[in-house]
A and B are shown apart, each in its own frame.
Chain A
Amino acid sequence: MTITRTLLGSAASLGLAAGLATTAVAQDNVTLTIATVNNGDMIRMQGLTDDFKEQYPNIDLEWVTLEENVLRQRVTQDIATSGGQFDVMTIGVYEVPIWAEQGWLTPLEDLPENYDTDDLLPSIREALSVDDQLFAAPFYGESAMVMYRTDLAEEAGVTIPDQPTWTDIKAAAEAMTDQDAGIYGICLRGKPGWGENMALIGAMANSYGARWFDMDWQAQFESETWNEVLTDYLDLMTNYGPPGAAANGFNENLSLFQQGKCGMWIDATVAASFVTDPDDSTVADSVGFAQFPNKEGVDNHGNWLWIWTLAVPAGSQKAEAAQQFVAWATSQDYTQLVAENEGWRAAPPGTRTSLYENEQYQEAAPFAEMTLNSINAVDTSAPAEGEIPYTGAQYVAIPEFQGIGTAVGQTFSAALAGQMDAEQALQSAQQLTQREIDRAGYGSD
């Protein structure tokens, strides 16, 4: 089938099918098609592929760079139908165990000797393994933390402790907001999507002691704690957030923060290297960091864990070359390469112990320690308080979660846009979650 496709493709484009195919076989040239997301670190990787070409002159790389939602749709559709359009896929930590169980991923058994899997952070490695076999290589990992403007905090006369509570956050947001000057005390995600606003709200819920489901797979949105979560979120955002927050995701908030419009921003740790980059950020030298907040009396800092990984689809004809690429892009040498080209601050964070032991990195990246602590604090086996039937983090690790999370995210986003109040939003979230989960047959067996 792949051969037919190559033939047809070449015939269509060049009409030289036969000629091309022969050369390909003779020189053993391989072209890898890599699907990736248009985040800063991945764009940087595209710029550094000359180094890879030097090491593997017979492997050509083709990039398909897409926005996160589109990327997820495209790769899921392709892998579920064995479409075979991609040789390397950028997927999230949520997908890895689910896809590995389905047998959709090639186990990474052919990694080069010097890859040093033991160097991967333990929580990261565990999250990407099934039965101790690694199924995807971490490109970068993140937890979440508070990023705030030290200058604005000082001006407003507030201090943000290293381990703030939500009450501290609210007080600081209030003090820093100066709408006439276009400064908003807090920027949080509001754009609907399980990987967008639900990542933040999900982590926030964990830190309040709320959970998605009880042991009988009954949705818990009508609980008192969820009510507190959503009420506080809406309260923070409507009073101290930027206009249009219901459309802001990670990238939009990053842009706002870099322009100096946000007092605080609670989001993925990976943002730290961008907000402290003097080339892109107008506030680079006045950013402080603190751990993800918790509710007083709840020992849970959100359990946010996200890893962008590179994985190889099962049944790929080019699995060997694909693994060579995956190994290159997630190796210590790649980190070194980024450091040489862009400085240590830009090194892809959150995957390897060696990076955090590197003194140059510690020096260049003031956020290193906070990032490492946040990641190490994550417990994916028990993300939420109370007894729960699922594992996960700011997400619930079941296949149905994408649909449920996105629909709930839409509802909460509508609440943020002022179309309904917290009560109504929770009620509708409860109904649609239960409807979906019952249909999928959870709890019935």
Chain B
Amino acid sequence: MATQHSRAAARFMIAPSVVLLLAWMLIPLGMTIYFSFLRYNLLMPGANPFVGWENYSYFLTDPAFQTAIVNTLLLVGGVLVITIAGGIALAVLLDQPMWGTGIVRIMVISPFFVMPTVSALVWKNMFMNPVNGLFAYLADVIGVQPYDFLTQAPLASIIGIVSWQWLPFATLILLTAMQSLDSEQLEAAEMDGASAWSRFYHIKLPHLARAITVVVLIQTIFLLSIFAEILVTTNGGPGTASTNLTYLVYAESLLRFDVGTGSAGGVVAIILANIVAIFLMRMIGKNLDA
């Protein structure tokens, strides 16, 4: 049991982190909330009058707002589905005996080390470009019209690029979890004549539940604020087809320089992110307390 003394020590040890994060949260956030009630455009300096909820109503009635919400959810959901399904498949594969596991593993985790800007640039120009990209060349070889990924399916293309970056992370976590599985249990099942599929479905998959929750949590945190990939590849377009909430806030505050509306958008985004967070925490909490 923890003593009174060690509790005090513990508080003392946690304090710096809490204070720093509180400051980090409150100072910029406080200023953002303050700005969100002002008419504040960087291009038009002077008095920044208080305008009440105007910025909020302007942001929320923006026709792009709903699209952005939907796109944000699709982006997060799409990447999660792909990386988790792909991650499980890869984890199963890498868990098999084979020659050169080390090298395969290095190849598989490499995309995780590539900075988002670079990966977006490389995919956009050298693969998805409909004239000079490798995919266009492949389409040519099999005799079909090159597909214009970033124009015809902008959001799906971005989901693809982001999934490529996050697949290694999911794979690693899931693989570690897989390898922690007691092999005796598997062997026993095998003795009983369970097929490979049923061994996977009844033993391995349930064992991965925790790991999957962890992947969902960590990735969601990063995926909610996907930005660089969109900026580099599609600028949120065509139209608003690939605009997510983060990008919409960017467009308001840094393309239109309307800091007031941008801040209102930021506050909205923070509230929505926290709703997602609460939802996630519940889920995680259940899974992690066990």
A binds B: yes
Across-interface contacts of A246 in B (CB, < 8 A):
151, 237-238
Bound-complex Cα distance A423 to B254 (A): 29
Q: How far is the CA of A67 from the CA of B255 in the complex (A)?
A: 14
A402-B257, A414-B237 known; A244-B150 Cβ under 8 A = yes
Q: Which B209-250 residues sit within 8 Å CB-CB of chain A?
A: 234-241
Q: Does B191 contact A (CB under 8 A)?
A: no
Bound together, the chains give a CA A76 to CA B258 distance in angstroms of 12
- Are A247 and B150 touching (Cβ within 8 A)? yes
Binds A, one of B40-48, B90-98, B169-177: B40-48
Indicate whether A191 reaches chain B with its CB closer than 8 angstroms: yes
Q: Known contacts A403-B255, A428-B63; decide if A192 and B235 are in contact (CB<8 Å).
A: yes
What is the CB-to-nearest-CB distance from A286 to chain B, in angstroms, rounded to a whole number?
A: 20
Contact indicator B151/A244 (Cβ below 8 Å): yes
From A23-31, A119-127, A294-302, A405-413, give the one contacting chain B. A405-413
Residue of B nearest to A82 (CB): B45
Q: Which chain B residues numbered 57 to 87 have a C-beta less than 8 Å away from chain A?
A: 58, 63
Given A98-B43, A192-B237, check contact A73 B254 (CB 8 Å): yes
CB of B256 within 8 Å of the partner chain: yes
Contact A182-B131, Cβ < 8 Å, known A244-B150, A402-B257, A417-B239? yes
Give the shortest distance, in Å, between A43 (CB) and chain B (any CB).
18
User: Is the beta-carbon distance between A414 and B256 smaller than 8 angstroms?
Assistant: no
Residues of A within 8 A of B (CB): 69, 73, 76-77, 80-81, 98, 102, 182, 191-193, 242-247, 256, 259, 261, 399-400, 402-403, 406, 410-411, 413-414, 416-420, 428, 431-432, 439
Contact A256 B45 (CB under 8 A): no
A432 to B62, CA, bound (A): 9
Are A402 and B255 in contact (CB-based, < 8 A)?
yes
- Whether A419 contacts B241 in the complex (CB less than 8 A), given A403-B255, A406-B255, comes out as yes
Q: Do the beta carbons of A410 and B41 come within 8 Å of each other?
A: no
Q: Is the CB of A243 within 8 A of B44?
A: no
- Chain A residues contacting B101 (CB-CB under 8 Å) are none
Please name all residues of chain B whose beta carbon is closer than 8 Å to the beta carbon of A439 when the two chains form the complex: 58
Contact indicator per residue, chain B 115-153, by CB within 8 Å of chain A (1) or not (0): 000000000000001111000100000000110101110
Residue B186 at the A interface, CB < 8 A? no
The closest CB in chain B to the CB of A261 belongs to B131
Chain A CB within 8 A of B268 CB: no
Chain A residues within an 8 Å CB radius of B129: 244
Residue of A whose beta carbon sits closest to that of B254: A73
B131 touches A244 (CB 8 A): yes
Across-interface contacts of A413 in B (CB, < 8 A): 237-239
List the interface of chain B (C-beta within 8 A of A).
41-45, 58, 63, 129-132, 136, 145-146, 148, 150-152, 234-241, 251, 254-258
- Check A244 against B148 for contact (C-beta < 8 Å): yes
- Chain A residues with CB below 8 A from B132, complex form: 259
Given contacts A411-B239, A432-B63, whether A406 and B251 have CB atoms under 8 Å apart is yes
Q: Report yes or no: B237 in contact with A410, Cβ–Cβ below 8 A.
A: yes
- With both chains docked as a complex, state the minimum distance between the C-beta of B60 and any C-beta of chain A, in angstroms: 13
Closest to B258 in A: A403
From B42, B44, B152, B236, contact of A410 by CB (8 A): B236
Q: Whole-angstrom distance from the CB of A38 to the nearest CB of chain B?
A: 13
User: In the complex, what residues of A have CB within 8 A of residue B43's CB?
Assistant: 76, 80, 98, 102, 399-400, 402
| Nearest CB in chain A to that of B239: its residue | A414
Residues of A within 8 A of B251 (CB): 406
Given contacts A77-B42, A80-B45, A399-B44, contact A410 B256 (CB under 8 A): no
Give A189 to B89 CA distance when docked, in angstroms: 43
Residues on B with beta carbons closer than 8 Å to the beta carbon of A406? 251, 255-256
CA distance A403 to B146 in the complex (A): 33
Closest to B234 in A: A247
Q: Give B139 Cβ to nearest chain A Cβ, in Å.
A: 10
Contact yes or no, B239 A80, CB < 8 A = no
Most buried by A among B150, B256, B258: B256
- Rounded to whole Å, the gap between the CB of A227 and the closest CB of chain B is 19
Given A80-B257, A191-B235, A243-B130 in contact, is the A414-B241 Cβ separation under 8 Å?
yes
Name 11 extra pairs, CB < 8 A, besides A80-B257, A402-B255, A410-B237: A69-B255, A80-B45, A98-B43, A245-B151, A246-B237, A402-B257, A406-B255, A410-B235, A414-B238, A417-B237, A417-B241
Contact yes or no, A399 B41, CB < 8 A: yes
Check A410/B239 contact, CB under 8 A, given A242-B131, A246-B151. yes
CB of A419, distance to nearest CB on chain B (Å): 5
- In the bound complex, residues from chain A placing their C-beta under 8 Å from that of B42 are 76-77, 80-81
Is the Cβ of B258 less than 8 Å from the Cβ of A419?
no
| Cα distance, A193 to B236, chains bound together (Å) | 11
CB–CB A243/B146 < 8 A: yes
A86–B168 alpha-carbon span in the complex (Å): 40
Task: Name the CB-closest residue of B to A80.
Answer: B42
Residues of chain B within 8 A (CB-CB) of A419 are 238-239, 241
Q: Is the CB of B151 within 8 A of A417?
A: yes
Residues of A within 8 A of B145 (CB): 243
A192 contacts B58, C-beta separation under 8 Å: no
Shortest distance between the CB of A5 and any CB in chain B (Å): 20
> In the complex, A78→B44 CA distance in Å?
14
Q: 13 A-B pairs, CB-CB below 8 angstroms?
A: A80-B42, A192-B238, A244-B148, A246-B237, A246-B238, A261-B131, A400-B256, A402-B255, A403-B258, A410-B237, A410-B240, A414-B238, A414-B239
